Amino acid sequence: MNTKKMLFIFAVCACCSVTLIAQNSVNNVQMPELQRQVQRTNIRVPNLDAYETLKCDFHIHTIFSDGVVWPEIRVREAWEEGLDAIAITDHIERNPSKPHVGGDHNSSYEVALSSARNYDILLIKAGEITRSMPPGHLNALFVDDVNKLDTEKPEDAIMEAHRQGGFLIWNHPGWKAQQPDTCKMFDIHRKLISSGVINGIEVFNEKEWYPIVMSWCVENNLAVIATSDIHDVNAHFYPLEKYHRPMTLVFAKDRSMESLKQALFEKRTAAWFGKYVAGKENILNELFRKSVSFRTFPEPDAKKQYSIEIKNDSDFTFELTAVSSELPSFSVLPNSSVIVKAKQNGNFAYLVSNWFINTGKNLPVTITF
Amino acid sequence: MNTKKMLFIFAVCACCSVTLIAQNSVNNVQMPELQRQVQRTNIRVPNLDAYETLKCDFHIHTIFSDGVVWPEIRVREAWEEGLDAIAITDHIERNPSKPHVGGDHNSSYEVALSSARNYDILLIKAGEITRSMPPGHLNALFVDDVNKLDTEKPEDAIMEAHRQGGFLIWNHPGWKAQQPDTCKMFDIHRKLISSGVINGIEVFNEKEWYPIVMSWCVENNLAVIATSDIHDVNAHFYPLEKYHRPMTLVFAKDRSMESLKQALFEKRTAAWFGKYVAGKENILNELFRKSVSFRTFPEPDAKKQYSIEIKNDSDFTFELTAVSSELPSFSVLPNSSVIVKAKQNGNFAYLVSNWFINTGKNLPVTITF
Amino acid sequence: MNTKKMLFIFAVCACCSVTLIAQNSVNNVQMPELQRQVQRTNIRVPNLDAYETLKCDFHIHTIFSDGVVWPEIRVREAWEEGLDAIAITDHIERNPSKPHVGGDHNSSYEVALSSARNYDILLIKAGEITRSMPPGHLNALFVDDVNKLDTEKPEDAIMEAHRQGGFLIWNHPGWKAQQPDTCKMFDIHRKLISSGVINGIEVFNEKEWYPIVMSWCVENNLAVIATSDIHDVNAHFYPLEKYHRPMTLVFAKDRSMESLKQALFEKRTAAWFGKYVAGKENILNELFRKSVSFRTFPEPDAKKQYSIEIKNDSDFTFELTAVSSELPSFSVLPNSSVIVKAKQNGNFAYLVSNWFINTGKNLPVTITF
Amino acid sequence: MNTKKMLFIFAVCACCSVTLIAQNSVNNVQMPELQRQVQRTNIRVPNLDAYETLKCDFHIHTIFSDGVVWPEIRVREAWEEGLDAIAITDHIERNPSKPHVGGDHNSSYEVALSSARNYDILLIKAGEITRSMPPGHLNALFVDDVNKLDTEKPEDAIMEAHRQGGFLIWNHPGWKAQQPDTCKMFDIHRKLISSGVINGIEVFNEKEWYPIVMSWCVENNLAVIATSDIHDVNAHFYPLEKYHRPMTLVFAKDRSMESLKQALFEKRTAAWFGKYVAGKENILNELFRKSVSFRTFPEPDAKKQYSIEIKNDSDFTFELTAVSSELPSFSVLPNSSVIVKAKQNGNFAYLVSNWFINTGKNLPVTITF
């Protein structure tokens, strides 16, 4: 605009619109700018051809065990963070653990239910069987009455959950408090897995990753699970401005409790924690293809290089490592694009080095220049 | 996880992974964490049924007039910010204006061209005819030789641009340096508009909005234009973490120079600045419908209220004001959802109070509970 | 470094340091980068010559009335946000209000106490007398036994708090639920103020400002109070990345419970909410002088202007409005400096237009060019 | 406030204050919220007892060599980022390198000078002697006429700079383009150092750290230097929201060109890059003590632990590693505090593991519980 623009600005006073607000009223001035605008931030993850992608956290505590917030807060956190489904899994054996807090093992579910309906969050009735190793801790999802899981012997609690139609997850198998030097499967787990009682295992819990679990899930066709196991306020514990909370993606026919349950029992899941994703190859392959698009430049550039723009429409991060060392390795951040150049055109093998289809094994993809 | 979790954490040391990096080499330690990761951030705006939405800035300066950066920077800014097309519009009359800088009126285009090809940014050859009011300043886009626009009389420059097939925009008509107390159209503008020489007007320039211009665009079927008119580094001038730079959305058959030019001459544009959008009703109506989706809750809640979730997949902000005062007014931020409740179901009239289809006239929409 | 530097970088891969972490262990990989680093963020407010400035919030709820978090969270929020002292003020009459939560009116204090000691937060024993208007709601600070304030008549509760040595604050006098159209003082308040029973009034509560209250505080020598009245998680309700929570600054001999109490009874306070500060002139004047420093440039510049750099070492924002319209008005953000230029040197009168020393009256200051 | 507070807020509409702004004027609506507020952000680094700490960048390029911005931008960047002094060091041998840009080796200094005066930035006249290795690249600061350094033989340029009273810095000795496999000192460097011609060496350049350089600086009493060597827009290259740009701290008698020069020749400097600091032990020790304060809790807590609060008033990060493994290691972020607990009281040895007093040697400090 200004042909002699004063670039030389010393104090552009963007907010010095002198405080006229005070004059409006001496009685009561509302100041909405001092309050956060409460909205649901959508998580950008593509659906699959045949399934809707539900964002779920199946391991959460409240004041009714050793968590620090009222159950309603867990629903509101889930809604604001863009989740579809949660299970509140208060510890059964030590519930309630706080002075002045009563209730029984169904209380946190019952207290949270009206909030869940208001926010349209799928709230799964659940509890955490909390025992020494083996069998350790297990979450029982989709149970009818958590109180009946408060048994003396862990096997009885597990079998009661199974009788109630529960989906059972073996929690944090490599937790150092229970397996300080290793992360191994015990006979009881093998038995419960082979008999279809244990249906999933946490490959990630809170801030711990158990890479070995992926091989167990692939070998035994178990659901791959990542959870927050949150006890604290979520925004206090996780840097939510950097990453979504750890979650399990469930690929369901639709966004309903029935389809969610069916998808879990059919083991259609993936684990997402930080910039990492773990799951079966066919699922991760489809997720990758639906998240990323490619645009090839028609002509080589002045330096005789072939160019490709790789566009990531999702909230995932992709770290793409060339199998052949001549090609560039690069990463594509959420909602971003990069341009990559190669000296020749053709199809080239890459690994998504932060996505895992088995223990130590990355998703292979092909990029065409 | 922990049934007696130490909530009571004094100093969780996330980054205290003692500096082993130094041991790797005493000669040269690369520290990529000290560098920004250069990527293109995609702008989320839907395409229309028949057209692709191109994000464009048609008013930009460089070192070759009174800007402060080398032309290449303008291409890289555009690429990083997610734009598709730019015009560098250095002032013709005072170009070059800097000590030690030579060149002619085509230089900034010529210098920027190889970068534009490397980044696949559509670079429009252009210049700014910079005269006193009337006619004021006009941008000439799609010209062949900017040097020929360096004439004594402004009319000659304008007609030469027109002869070269140029698309002419009347810049910042309400700029106080040229129209301190008003924003009026002069006879010369009327003549140039009616004869098809002026094809668009800036309704927004840099940080100024000229609301009256919308009525001129509607009455005369002109392209509605918003531009940055950036002279400074873009990231120095605009708070890019809050808003995209001001831009013109162009609805083109495809992402090519030919389709962009055709769309402009057919006046398929909208102006986007801060949280505001201005454009013709049919275009804004389609943009709204493609950005927002609704999910109605099947049943009234415990308080006999009907609920609807309104989901915004775009980078637009929608401020929805109920025409009937009984209904809630609310806003939906980019990539967010809100749940709104009403005492009865049915169709209700709202205004998108930050979207303008004419001077002082908001886009009307219907929301169904 | 590079004389032919490739400015033209397409995908600088800052984090693509291929995921070697996974190789370390297949059992348990700790991922501290997924966790927030828990630290106390210091609030930068200067001390006065004779007093230490304590940052305090005297109105806070927990699960033991209608809040949603366990008392310990209130201590941790205070510590992380840089506060020195808090009072948990659960509603007396309706405490506890939640299903399955028992306890008495002292429970939230007792539960929070060990956390307060661990974090060295001054925890004031307190409760909120919650009645219809008049007298409305009052916070009783420094009481011995909150249970004794659970009386039938409000006067009895107030006098019992006074007998226990309590510091009484009249809360949110302009709250629309109790004074929909006005913000007036009732006879009972006048009586309690003149008899020294009410010692402070909230000029700000949660997100509401009652400007009229400043005149009451000045006329009656009452403590000016701002509080959060937080029920929700603090980080959910307030945009803490933009502003500190609303707080009362108390100017005390040292950081001890005794000095804090003495300072309150001697009415040495200021209210800080968003970018606004309200308090008595002598206090605000000293706060201003200790927050801001000036550096005068020795010579006029090429345009014969005198320059001054104004440096703000505090977290306050100063909006400085020139009393004489020839001088520039400007604002100085937290931890920032501006350079201001004037056509002549000398002393010039300004108002800090976002700081209030009485209802509608700004702090006057002098700036010397 | 509300004893039955609707925690259950679906769409708090903080900014839906329906757009009344448009009604103010149809001609020209100023929108300052679309513009960044230009201020100087102060860098918080303590002064030493005897010296003021100046924040300096001695290696910067502009359009007059292979940089991309006009010299004025370098002054404004420095001012906004809180620096005190800069040297523009355009390449002498290839200056100017751009089409249509003329001038000589003094042009960038001359063009920047009036901005430097307006912003009160100390602008050092300088140039970069740009030769193959040995001797590689050297910056000559405080020279009178850069044109005279444009000699055929590198030795002549160096000696001319020395004759002009120049302060000579050996730049990026470990740059892989010149020393791909090592970072070694050549005979010519040894000679120039021992004869007092080379006075400083870059231990850090742009995003590269050369740890070996610290031992050279300690052995030869040279100034430790860190620089940006910026060619791009600073805000494009560095993640300034995370770290200040790389800089050299100079400990000078006052903020004047004379004292800055004297301090450099007396080698009172430290290098600061990302979270790392490198410098001589006495200087780093004083910087640490002036940045950090300790507050010991008088009594052991319930678990018989002694507590200490460690408060960091500076913009430095301190990673404190216990020499004895029984004590906790922790880090203290800028403007933050941590509380650390120990089983016994006493004095304990720690290392500041991200601060270096020699190659591979951390600053030792003592912490008293």
Q: What is the pLDDT of residues B244-260, one digit of tens each?
A: 999 999 999 999 999 99
Per residue in A119-155, pLDDT (tens digit) is 999 999 999 999 999 999 999 999 999 999 999 999 9
pLDDT at residue D3 is higher than 90: no
Number of H helices, E strands in chain D: 9, 21
Q: Which chain C residues are within 8 Å of B13, Cβ to Cβ?
A: 32, 37
Q: φ, ψ for residue A203 (rounded to 5)? A: -85, -15
User: Is pLDDT above 90 for B369?
Assistant: no
All residues of chain A having their beta carbon less than 8 Å from the beta carbon of residue C111 are 99-100
Burial readout B343-365 (b: 16 or more C-beta within 10 A, e: otherwise): eeeeebebbbbbbbbbbeebbeb
Shortest CB distance from D35 goes to which of B15, B100, B237? Answer: B237
Which residues does chain B have within 8 Å of residue C17's beta carbon, measured at their own beta carbons?
Answer: 32
Q: Are the Cβ atoms of D12 and A33 closer than 8 angstroms?
A: no
Q: What's the pLDDT at B96?
A: 66
* CA–CA distance, B310 with B307 (Å, rounded to integer): 10
CA distance D336 to D315: 9
Neighbours of chain B (3+ CB pairs under 8 A): A, C, D
**A253 min Cα distance to partner chain C (Å):** 31
Region B197-217: what's the mean pLDDT? 98
Question: Is B34's CB within 8 Å of D243's CB?
Answer: yes
Q: What does the pLDDT read at residue C346?
A: 87
Q: Is B252 left (phi over 0), alpha (psi -120 to 50) or beta?
A: beta
Kindly determine whether residue D7 and residue C331, on different chains, have CB atoms separated by under 8 Å. Answer: no
**Among all residues of chain B, which has the CA nearest to that of A83?**
B337
- A5, A20, A24, A39: best to mutate for the D interface, most D CBs within 10 A: A39
The pLDDT of residue B337 = 97
Nearest CA-CA distance, residue B162 and chain D, Å: 28
- The DSSP call for residue D253 is S
Q: What percent of chain A has pLDDT above 90?
A: 85
Q: Cβ distance C94 to C130 under 8 Å?
A: yes
Considering only CB atoms, which chain A residues are within 8 Å of C103?
A: 99-100
Whether residue B79 has pLDDT greater than 70: yes
D1 with C171: Cβ contact below 8 A:
yes
Q: Which residue of D has its CA nearest to B73?
A: D68
Is the per-residue pLDDT at C24 higher than 60? no
Inter-chain residue contact D231 with C5, CB threshold 8 Å? yes
Nearest-Cα residue of chain A relative to residue C101:
A101
Q: What is the pLDDT of residues C192-228, one digit of tens each?
A: 999 999 999 999 999 999 999 999 999 999 999 999 9
Model confidence at B326, pLDDT cuts 50, 70, 90, reads confident
Confidence band, pLDDT 50/70/90 cuts, at residue D346 = confident
What does the pLDDT read at residue D91?
Answer: 96
pLDDT at D77: 98
Which chain A residue's Cα is nearest to C9? A339
Contacts of C37 in chain B (CB under 8 A): 12-15
Q: Residues A238, C36: contact at Cβ < 8 Å? A: yes
Q: What is the 3-state secondary structure (H, E, C) of chain B?
A: CCCCCCCCCCCCCCCCCCCCHHHHCCCCEECHHHCCCCCEECCCCCCCCCCEEEEEECCECCCCCCCCECHHHHHHHHHHHCCCEEECCCECCCCCCCCCECCCCCHHHHHHHHHHHHHCCEEECEEEEECCCCCCEEEEECCCCHHHHCCCCHHHHHHHHHHCCCEEEECCCCCCCCCCCCCCCCHHHHHHHHCCCEEEEEEEECCEECCHHHHHHHHHCCEEEEECCECCCHHHHCCCCCCCCCEEEEEECCCCHHHHHHHHHCCCEEEEECCEEEECHHHHHHHHHHHEEEEECCCCCCCCCEEEEEEECCCCCEEEEECCCCCCCEEECCCEEEEEEECCCCEEEEEEEEEEEECCEEEEEEEEC
User: Is the confidence at residue D12, as pLDDT, over 60?
Assistant: no
Distance from the Cα of A339 to chain D's closest Cα (Å) equals 17
Does C95 have pLDDT greater than 90? Answer: no
Nearest CB to A68 within list B2, B7, B229: B7
Judge: A3–B309 Cβ closer than 8 Å, yes or no: no
Q: Which residues contact B32 (CB under 8 A, 6 or more apart)?
A: C12, C13, C14, C15, C17, D207
* Chains in contact with chain D (at least 3 beta-carbon pairs closer than 8 A): A, B, C
The residues on A that touch D, with CB distances below 8 Å, are: 7-15, 17, 32-33, 35-39, 72, 76, 115, 118
According to DSSP, the β-strands at D292-296 and D306-312 are antiparallel
Task: Kindly determine whether residue A39 and residue D14, on different chains, have CB atoms separated by under 8 Å.
Answer: no
Q: Calculate ∠ Cα B296-B299-B303, nearest 5°.
A: 110
How many whole angstroms separate alpha carbon B320 and alpha carbon D350? 58
Q: Which residue has the tokens 């031992």?
A: D215
Give the model confidence (pLDDT) of C163-191 as tens digits: 999 999 999 999 999 999 899 999 999 99
Phi/psi-derived region of residue D28, left when phi > 0, alpha when psi is between -120 and 50, beta in every other case = beta
Res. D369: pLDDT tops 90: no
Cross-chain Cβ contact D37/A17 below 8 Å: no
Helices (H), ranges, C229-330: 234-237, 257-265, 281-291
B107-119 vs B71-81: helix crossing angle, rounded to 10: 30
Average pLDDT, chain A: 92
Percent of chain C whose pLDDT exceeds 70 = 93
**Tokens found for residue A105:** 């093992």
Is the pLDDT at D119 greater than 70, yes or no?
yes
Q: For testing the chain D interface, which of A24, A38, A69, A117 should be mutated: the one with the most D CBs within 10 Å?
A: A38
What stretch of H or E contains D162? helix D154-163
Model pTM above 0.80: yes
A11: confidence class by pLDDT, cuts 50, 70, 90:
very low
Confidence band, pLDDT 50/70/90 cuts, at residue B345:
confident
- The pLDDT value given to residue A355: 98
Q: How confident is the model at residue C23 (pLDDT cuts 50, 70, 90)?
A: very low
